[in-house]
Each structure stands twice: as structure tokens, then as C-alpha cells.
Amino acid sequence: MNVPHRTAGNEGPAAADLDSIPGLSAAEVADRVAAGQVNDIPDRASRTVGEIVRGNVFTRFNAIFAILAAIVISTGYLLDALFAIIIVANSLVGIIQEVRAKRTLDRLAITGEAHPRVRRDGRVSELPPHEIVLGDVIELGPGDQAVVDGEVLAAEGLELDESLLTGEADPVPAAPGASVLSGAFVTAGWGLYRATTVGREAYAARLEAEAAKFTLVNSELRTGINQILKVITWLLIPAGALSIYNQLTDGQPLSDALRGMVGALVPMVPEGLILLTTVAFAVGVIRLGRRNCLINELPAIETLARVDVVCADKTGTLTENAMVLSELREVAPADPSEDPAVALAALAADDPRPNASMLAIAAAYPDSPGWTAVATLPFSSARKYGGIDFAEHGVWLLGAPDVLLPTGDAVRAEAEELGASGLRVLLLARADSLPNSAPGADLPPLRPVALVVLDQKVRPDARTTLDFFAEQDVRVNVISGDNATSVGAVARHLALPGADHPVDARTLPTDTEELADAIADRTVFGRVSPAQKRSIVRGLQSRGHTVAMTGDGVNDVLALKDADIGVAMGAGSPAARAVAQIVLLDNKFATLPHVVNEGRRVIGNIERVAVLFLTKTVYSVLLAFLVGIPGLIGLGALPYPFLPRHVTITAWFTIGLPSFILSLAPNHERARPGFVGRVMRMSIPSGVVIAVACFVCYLLVHPSVVAGTTTQVQASTSALITLITIALWVLAMVARPYAWWKALLVVLMMAGSFAMFALPLTRQVFQLDPTNWPHTWLALGLAAIGIVVVELTWLIEARFPKGRTLATGG
């Protein structure tokens, strides 16, 4: 770079020569490392292996199950403690899957980590943030994010956006001597700053630590499940007390009473629901990791599944970030002192951090004329132009024709015509002086010299990705800083609805409500400023939309942060990657449908299996009270019909194995809010029907036990037949619509259940006796009635749904 020189728009001490600051020496770095003055930032928010083990072993329900197992073992009936295997199985599966997911995330996090450019011994190296030491000299350029606090040493038009820290969106000019807060990002210009605070004392690290103490990433799925589990925990106490009281009142030995109580309590606990939620998320992370997709926040998979509007930046998302100079069209009479090719070569040579447009120009004109710059106005996404004062060679500006030229100008009209074919067009102009860098500053008199025509290639996978979203009823809005006509041309090439009527964002209202109305039925927007991208996202959210924002540049940061889900490209700016919940490390827009499908699979399938688990909870709680209340009110105590081993085998065939398989199945329906309400509307009626049918069967059979014509084992078996038959039917309903493997799954579970009652060995082990045929037929008849009632309740729910019914999948 040809420096030193004055920087337009920066006040303060004279800028030092950016090339004259060598940074720390190797010896100085070693001294600081020895003194512990390193950037010991906390690791990304993932649990350690030890924390994963503790989190999966020491859970509320593992503790409940362990206590209940100890109670049963103390009675000497070890087979009735089979449910304790669930503690080991749940813990092992949860640990294995979460550790696999952690390793995937950690590997991808290292790959996607931003590496600041640090000067040491006069050389520039890209270092991981944790290797920075106190006093290091760090380079800043457009899109970079400050990783430590510091003080500006030298600057050329340096502008910092601290909105992620302070909420203030306007860029702040940063002159030498100004402070830099970690977390701020560069919107324009270049500079050097010295690290003055590192590690956990840095501003952003302290903010993050405070936030971590008081807030958690929102997940409707986990929040809903936790709400349900809290209610269940409190129900266990009265149900257990009533059960043990009823058993002892009936004159049963304490050992039998305890087994009856455990048999009542065990099925109330949806022990596998949390496990399957963890597994489903972990498997999603692993699957997406294979596609080089980094999930910075686990619930991001869930939220993206709820998205109904995707706001996509054009450059780097729909089009490839690389461009090629297609044409240099002179628009003024030739002047030897105004050779546009030479001026462009000088502009490109003086740009230390060129964007895609400037890289294309530099590739076309690689030979620098050696002009000396005396003042610079770096390009800014908000201004949409930049320029350099080359002293005797004059002031040159390069930027958007429709920003630099007034409406009706012939050159501007020519640029519009070129842009209509999808080309990016920049104006090269001479000016009397450099414009002021302040927002909204008036332009000095300028004279157009040439139009720089850049060809941008549409990503080959963009069309199929947009088609996917169209099929899924997800609207795609293109919001770009480029000329609206050019953006519309690209959108038309991709057959995006609304592409024939692109909107120039400069005509949009500033009021949020008015803006939301104006963009309600529009999909293509050009000349969108960074602040307007954020406003468009907020406007859509104000109308109840769940919005995803995809982008790769510093101009997308505000919108990425405010969207329900921010998706950044791996090759994008460090600031964009830092605020996004999802980073596509392979830079493929086509990866996004896979992320959406993973989220839908997780939510839809957890919703399916939650119905199974909570149906079991409902019928278990209700059955415990139905059996216990007669004894409580003096109508005669009833022994609880089931042993713990009975509820264990019921869970095996109606919930355990089927729920695990269903939780990993494909599922592509868009999720919507209201998880708890939908699940409860499906599980409560089913659970009530099962409990009532089972209790009626037991009530009708039990007098025969008292009379001595039927054994208690036969009575329990009859009630169990009623219960397991209806529960298997609920499984069959949850598995709809059927694919071959779902039908096979249901058939196998039914066959396994039948075998449990039919085989002599299993009859003996699980204390089953279906040989009293009148009672068995009574049980099957009541089960048939229950099945009809369950089908009717689900038909009513489907006819008058409150939100979406159960997710469907293949």
C-alpha cells in the first residue's frame, strides 16, 4: 500500500503508516505467554465429556427409577426390577450420541473459526484467537470482528459497528487512539489496533459470561417437554401414596404392596422421552456435520424447521461470490489523463482487503500504475461507493450508478439497462473532492468516466434449492444491496415468484408497520442498506412469520442477528459467521434444505413419540387413581392389577423400540408452534380410553377372583390384554401414513406382544395366564370398543384441529 496518507472522515491523531508497525517480537510474545497474558477465552458452548456423563446419569428420572428399583429389589422379586435396565440403557445411549455430536461440532468449530491477522516481527500471520497475547498488533478490514479489546494505532477510513454490544446500529469512525471493543466489526476501511485486554476480561467475553448465567437458548420442544415432566413429577407423590395405602388396606403383605405401588408409578414416568429428544438432536448434528454444516446453537435445527420465510442475500448466496469483469464501457470523451483502465488498476492496487467486485477488477488490471494516494474513502455497504484522492491524478470514485448519479441521467439509464440482464454495474467517476464519510453526506460535483460491467455466475444449485422451498410452502425473499433491476434479473433467471416487480428499497417506508405492509406481497428487493435488511426481517416477524436470513457479508450481520435463524456462509466475513446460528462451511446454499429437513425430522418425530409416552403416562396416572379411590372412599380396596414386570413388557412393545425407530425416520412437514397443546390433545383422550377400558375389564373380572373361580394372575392378564391391545393400536395410528418399514414395525410389535401371552416360558416368567377364555374374550371386546373410541377422538381432532395434527413422513 502507498501510505502514509490522510484518511477522509477520520478525526484525531495523525494515522501511522500501516506498514511501519511490526508488532511484537518472538521474545515479547514468549514473555507474555509465560506471564499468562494470553487470550484464554472460554471454549465454545459445548459440554465436556465429564459434564455429558454427569448430565445423562444424574437425572431426575434416573433417580426416581433407581429408588423404585431399590424398593423392588428389597422385596426379593428381581424380575420386577427389570425396568432398572432403562437407567443404564438411557444413560449409555445418551452419552454415546452426545459425545459423537460434541466431537462433530468441535471439529467443525475449529474449521469454521475466524483467524485474526496478527503482526509479529514485521510479518502477518493468521492465528486462532486463543493464541493472541497482550500487546499484539492486529489488522482490521471489512467484515472482520475484533476478538479482543484494544486501541487503534492506525486507520484508513475505519468504521466500527458496535450494534452487537450496544444495540446502536450506526457505524462509529475509529481514529488512532480510539478504543476497540471485542465483538465490534468493521463496516468499512482498514486499520491496526493493539490488544489492551485479552481473555475473560475482554468486553464481549464478560457480556457472554453474564448472559450464560441468566439465559438459555430457547427451544419450544425442550421447554414443552420440561413443562410436562414437572407436572408428572408432582403427580407421582399422591399416586404413590394412594397406591400403597390401597394395597395395605386390602390386607396385602408389605412386599406385595410395594410391588403394586412400583407397578403403578413406573409407567407414569416417560423415561425415554428426554433420551429420544437428545438422541434426535445429536443424530441431526452428526448428519449435518457430514455436510460441513456447523450448528452453533443446537435448537437452531428446531427453529429452522419452523421457518416460513427465507431472506437470502444475492451475492454469495444465490450467485457465486467470485465475479469476472465483462466490459469496461467508457461514457465520456477520451482523455489521456483519464484512462479508466489505469484508474481502476490504481484503485485495485490500493485496496488491501478487496471485496468480490474489486478482486474481479484487480484480476483484469493487475499492473499498478504506482499512483500515490493521499486520502481514502473506503467502500461501505451503507454508502455503496468509495474513492481515493490520488493527488495529481485526481479524485476517483467507484460505486453504484443509481447512488452517484441523479434520476434521469443518461449514464444511469444506460447502467440500468445493463443491470436488467443480471449484470452488476459500477460507475467510475472523477470528482472535485472526496465526499465526507458521514451518513447522508452530499456528493461533490462528479463526472462519469466509465461503466464497469461485472458478470456474476448464478450458483448451479440455487434453482433446485428455491424449488424445494416453493414445494415446502416457504417463501423466499431476495434482499440485496445491488441495483434492484439487476437483482430482479437474477431472480427471474431462477424463476422466483415476484421477480418481475423488484422493489428499490430506498422507496420503502421507515415505519415498521408501514414497512410490513409494503413488503407483504413482494419478494425481490434491491439497494437494501444493512439497516433496512434488519428492518425487513423485523417487519416480517411482526406479521407472525418465522424468518431465516442467509448471508455472507458484513452488510448482512444486523439481519442475521435479528432473524429467528441466521445462516452464514463459511467463506463469509468473520462477523457474519460469529452472529449466525448455522454456518454452511461448504458455502453451498443447497445445504439449507438438508438442515430444514433435519429440523422437521426432529420435531415431527419427537411429536410422534411424545404421544406414545404421554398416552402411557395418562393411562397410568388415571388407572392408579381409579384403582385407589374405591378403597379410599370405603367401597372396598382393589389390589393394583399389574406387576412392574407387566408394565415393563408393555413399554417394550408399545413404546420403547417403536419410539426409537420412529424418532429417526424421515419427516418433512413444516413444524408450527403449539407442541404441548397438540401432543396433549392426542395423548389425553387415548390415555383416558385405555385407562377406562382397562379398569372396566378389571372391575368386571375381579369379583370372580373374590369368589375363587378366577386367579389374580388371570384377572391381571385380562386387564393387561385390554391395555396392550389398545396401546398397540395407538402405536399403529401414530405410525401413519405407512411406509413398508412402518407397517413391518407395527406387525412385529403386535407379533411380539402375542408371543408374550402365547409362549409357556414367557407366561411363566412374566406371570401371565390368558387361559380363562371368557375373561380373555371380554378383554378383547372391551379393547375393540376402546379402539373405536380412540379412532373417533382422533378423527374429531383431525376435523377440528388447533394447529397442525401429527407430522407426516415417509
β-bridge mates for residue 425, sequence order: 453
Which of the following is catalytic: 80, 161, 313, 562? 313
Residues 67, 85: Cα–Cα separation, whole Å: 13
508's CB contacts (< 8 A; 6+ apart) are 515, 518, 519, 525, 532
Peptide bond into 737 cis (omega under 30): yes
- What's the rounded Cα separation, in Å, for the pair 513 and 534? 14
Q: Supply the DSSP symbol for 660.
A: H
- In angstroms, the CA 306 to CA 418 distance is 39
Is position 769 annotated as part of the catalytic site? no
Phi then psi for residue 310, to 5 deg, are: -110, 120
Angle, vertex CA 588, rays to CA 587 and CA 594, nearest 5: 125
Contacts of 519 (CB under 8 A, 6+ apart): 477, 503, 508, 525, 536, 539, 540
Q: Which amino acid is at 498?
A: G
Q: Is 713 exposed, middle or buried (0-12, 13-18, 19+ CB in 10 A)?
A: middle
Task: Give CA–CA dist 383/403, Å, rounded.
Answer: 8
Rounded to 5 degrees, φ, ψ at 438 are -65, 145
3-state SS class at 641: coil
Long-range (24+ apart) CB contacts under 8 A made by 495-504 are 495/463, 495/466, 496/466, 496/523, 496/524, 497/470, 497/523, 498/522, 498/523, 498/524, 499/523, 499/524, 502/526, 504/402
Q: Among all chains, which residue has been given the C-alpha cell 481514529?
A: 175
Percentages (nearest 5) of helix, strand, coil residues in the chain: 55, 15, 30
- Are 72 and 256 spatial neighbours (Cβ–Cβ below 8 Å)? no
The CA distance from 328 to 480, in Å, is 23
How far, in Å, CA of 375 to CA of 169, rounded?
26
Give the angle 497-498-500 at the CA atoms, nearest 5°: 115
Q: What span, in angstroms and rounded, lies between the C-alpha atoms of 649 and 304?
A: 37
Separation of alpha carbons 459 and 585, rounded Å: 16
- Closest by alpha carbon to 504, among 531, 530, 481, 537? 481
Cα 203 to chain center, whole Å?
26
All three cell numbers of 336: 489521456
Q: What is the signed CA dihedral for 718, 720, 723, 729, rounded to 10 degrees?
A: -90
- How far apart (Å, rounded) are the C-alpha atoms in residues 537 and 549? 8
- The residue type of 511 is D
Count of beta carbons in the 10 Å neighbourhood of residue 285: 23
Spatial separation of the C-alpha atoms in residues 22 and 20, rounded to whole Å: 6
Q: Identify the DSSP state of 15.
A: P
Sign for the pseudo-dihedral over CA of 245, 250, 254, 260? negative
Contacts of residue 672, Cβ cutoff 8 Å, sequence gap at least 6: 306, 803, 804
Cβ-based neighbours of 739, under 8 Å, separated by 6 or more:
810
Catalytic residues: 313
